[in-house]
Every structure is written in C-alpha cells, then in structure tokens.
Structure 1
Amino acid sequence: MNTQNIKTAASESSERWGEGQEIRGVSPALAERLKYLKIWREERMLACEREELLFGTLINMADDVCRTVTNWSVPRPVMPLSSVQAWAEARKIALSLYGELGQAAWSYAVDYLKTELSAGYAMFKADIA
C-alpha cells in the first residue's frame, strides 16, 4: 500500500466541502439557502429583517433536509451525506456570522428539524401499521 495515496485521498476528502467549497451532490435548494445565509450578513437591512431572514432560512433548510430523506422506516431517517454536510455548514455560518442571534436561530431550527424528522417517522409507521 502506498502511503502517498492515503495522504492524497485524505486531503482531497477534507477539502471537498470546507469553507468556500461546494458540497458535492447537495440539492439546489440547500445550496441556495447556504449562499443566502452568507450574503445576508453583509447586506444592509434592519435588525428585525435580518432576524426574520435568518430564522426563516434555517427553518426552510430543515424542511429541505427532510425532503432529502431516503428511508423513513427507521427512527433516525436515512438521508444523503450531502444533506448532513449542508446542515453542518448552516450551523457553522449561523454561529460564526450572526453571534447570539445565530445561536438562537440555530437552536430553534434544530428543535424544528428534530420535530419534523420524528413526525415523518411517526407518519411512516402509522401508514404501515
């Protein structure tokens, strides 16, 4: 086994979706929302408008993540890695660019996503039973 191949593969995989990188296979909706999260921080607007856009975008992202679920039959629904990566990137953006507002919005969005995933699983089980 060639150790140089391992080093190359490791560096390539870590560079695929880092800051400024695109996430391979991410849905267009998630990619667009990530772009807006970054852009809105720099736009001139009222604080209440920024708050509304941040909360709304994160909630819409949670809905988009739910739309990518490929298997609702398990308590932890299965989804593409790209959706998980996009969600993680949204967290990083919200917490690093928006401070306390980002923390509040992120906490709210995480609770919302948990509820939506739990509800989706419950609906799937109810349809089968």
Structure 2
Amino acid sequence: MHTRNVNTAAQASSERWGKNQPDDVVTQQRALFTQLAGVWNLQLTLEAEAQEVFRLLRALADNAFSIAVMEDSRIHPLTAKQVIQYWLDAKKLAVHLYAGTGAGAWECVRNKLEEDITFARELLQLNPAEDA
C-alpha cells in the first residue's frame, strides 16, 4: 500500500468515527460495565439501585449507538464487536445481580435503543447521502 493510501485510510477512519474512536468507546464500555457490576456493593435503596442500574445500562447503549454506522441497505447498524459485546454482557450481569430490576431496566433501555435506531434510519431515508 502506498503512503498516500495509508494517509487517506487513516483520515477516512477519523472522519467515520468522529470524536468517539472505537478504542475510546471500548475503554468507556469496560468502565461502565465494571460500575454496573459494583452497584450492588453500594448498598443503595432499591429505588436508587434501580436508577443507577438503568443509568449505567443506558450509558452502555448510548456508547454502542454513538459509533454505530447506519446504512440504508442494512437492517441493523454496524458497530465494533467489542463495544456491542459489553452491552450484551451487561444484560446477563444485570439479570444475574439485580434480578427483576436488572431485567426490567435492560428491557426499557433496549426499547429506547430500538427507538433511537428506528429514528436514525428514518432520518437517513429523509436525507439520503449524495453519491460522490
């Protein structure tokens, strides 16, 4: 590969991901996942625990969505496997540690994420990218 091609590829990658580089988001996901695992140790009231579990699950979902690439031809957005893996593992952890509270919070956040994806897809259809 020529140097010019490498420089162009690096530039395209930066433009594609914007501020949220996949490595940065993976680091954030890992930190959020660790926080989720430790909520039970904070000895919060049930209501405060539910709010914190919801907040962390929502942050995990937002991170996953923040680097997703929406394409007209795909049903689901493209995202880095390591980023989405923390989101999927968070469901298991939330259900295991927080039982019904965790399952309910995860389902609520999953529904919101689905709405966000649907909204982004509708925007994409309203404003299709111009062919270069």
TM-score range (shorter-chain normalised) is 0.7 to 0.9
State the match for 2:44 in structure 1: 45
Deviates more, 1:115-124 or 1:99-108: 115-124
User: Who is 2:62 aligned against?
Assistant: 63
State how far apart, in whole Å, the 2-side matches of 1:34 and 1:92 are. 11
Give the superposition deviation at 1:88.
1.1
Is the 1:71–1:79 contact (alpha carbons within 8 Å) kept by the matching residues of 2? no
TM-score, normalised to structure 2, is: 0.72
Report the Cα distance in structure 2 between the residues aligned to 1:62 and 1:98, rounded to whole angstroms.
Answer: 18
Question: 1-side partners of 2:31 and 2:123: how far apart?
Answer: 29
**Aligned equivalent of 2:29:** 30
Aligned residues: 106
Deviations 1:46-84 (A, max 9, x none): 211111101111112111110121344333111111122
Structure 1 segment 91-110 matched on structure 2, within 5 A? 91-110=91-110
Would you identify which runs of 4 or more consecutive aligned residues in structure 1 move more than 4 Å?
none
CA distance in 1, matches of 2:43, 2:84: 30
Contact 1:37 1:54 in 2 (8 A): yes
Tell whether the 8 Å contact from 1:51 to 1:101 is kept in structure 2 after alignment.
yes
TM-score by length of 1: 0.73
- Aligned-residue sequence identity (percent) comes to 18
**Counterpart contact for 2:29–2:60, Cα < 8 Å:** yes
Q: Give the RMSD, CA atoms, in angstroms.
A: 1.9
C-alpha distance in structure 2 between counterparts of 1:123 and 1:79, whole Å: 18
Unmatched 5+ stretches in structure 2 = 1-22
Counterpart of 2:83 in structure 1 is 83
Which runs of no fewer than 5 residues in structure 1 stay unpaired? Answer: 1-24
CA contact (8 A) 1:70 1:80 kept: no
